[in-house]
Amino acid sequence: MELIVLDTAEAIASRAADAIEALLASKPNAILGTATGSSPLPLYDELTRRYEAGRISFAQVEGFMLDEYVGLPEGHPERYATFMERNLRSRVDMRPGSLHGPDALSEDLQAACDAYEAAMAAAGYCDLQILGIGADGHIGFNEPGGPLDSTTHIDELTEQTRRDNARFFDGDIDAVPTRCITQGLGTIMKARKLVLIATGENKAEAVAHLVEGEIDPRWPATVMQNHPDALVLVDPAAASLLRQRH
């Protein structure tokens, strides 16, 4: 795992965009794993700028979202499908329909999980997976305590995650769904490259476990220590609880 501490969210976005630009230069039809939350937003801005400048094209890219809330209707602004459409797909030349997500509106959620895992397997899993991290150490929506080799599954959001995400729902925790579908930790680990972005003090404890802790299901992101090509990009606030200088 490579850790890089950079001063600003823009510098982090630029370093992450470099990794994606390099991938697309060597493989224009790459499979890209996308993340939601506030952490990747500067990256999506930077990717849009590079697309507008003619440096990169997503015309042949297929995307797979990490996760989706259960219980939000089609078109809800905080549905992750809507989020990704708004913040990336519609801003670049990704074809409509090329950014896939689990069908969290299905009557049969387990079947939706299985279908999503099968679609990712058929595509050969992601070449590069963008990740954020929850304050409780979740990646995707893999909350603490689950198996480290899970596939796409239904998960229950922790109180902490719902509190953290209430800011996207006018501060109303009751409006935050209680369940989600997420790629499993095993699914995420199948990506050839992982790029995790963490900014702000709220992430410092999770980052300390990720970088310096033991691999532990109570801090799900620590499974990344077993990945052969994982890049962790953090700002000084997110790095503030690391014991060693990096």
Residues labelled catalytic: 67, 136, 138, 143
Q: How many residues bind ligand GLP (CB under 6 A)?
A: 14
Question: How many CA atoms are closer than 13 Å to the CA of 90, on its beta-carbon side?
Answer: 7
User: Is 37 an interacting residue with respect to ligand GLP (CB under 6 A)?
Assistant: yes
CB of 49 to ligand GLP, least distance (A): 20
Mention every residue, 6+ apart, whose C-beta is less than 8 A from residue 174.
Answer: none
For residue 31, the surrounding DSSP H or E stretch is strand 31-34
Estimate to the nearest angstrom the gap between the alpha carbon of 78 and the chain centroid. 15
CB of 59 to ligand GLP, least distance (A): 26
Q: What is the rounded distance in angstroms from the CA atom of residue 234 to the CA atom of residue 198?
A: 5
Burial of 60 (0-12, 13-18, 19+ CB in 10 A): middle
Q: Is 55 helix (H, G, I), strand (E, B) or coil?
A: coil
User: Among residues 46, 62, 67, 143, which is the contact residue for ligand GLP, using CB under 6 A?
Assistant: 67
Q: According to CB under 6 A, which residues from 130 to 169 bind ligand GLP?
A: 132-134, 140-141, 161, 165
CB of 67 to ligand GLP, least distance (A): 5
User: Is 36 an interacting residue with respect to ligand GLP (CB under 6 A)?
Assistant: yes
Spell out, one character per residue from 185 to 224, where the chain touches ligand GLP: x when CB under 6 A holds, - when not: ----------------------------------------
Spell out, one character per residue from 84 to 123, where the chain touches ligand GLP: x when CB under 6 A holds, - when not: ----------------------------------------
DSSP state of 216: B
Nearer to ligand GLP, 62 or 67 (CB): 67
* CA separation, residue 44 to residues 3, 75, 121, 168 (Å): 21, 20, 25, 18
User: Among residues 24, 56, 66, 81, which is the contact residue for ligand GLP, using CB under 6 A?
Assistant: 66
CA distance between the termini of the chain: 12
- Binding residues for ligand GLP, per CB under 6 A? 35-39, 66-67, 132-134, 140-141, 161, 165
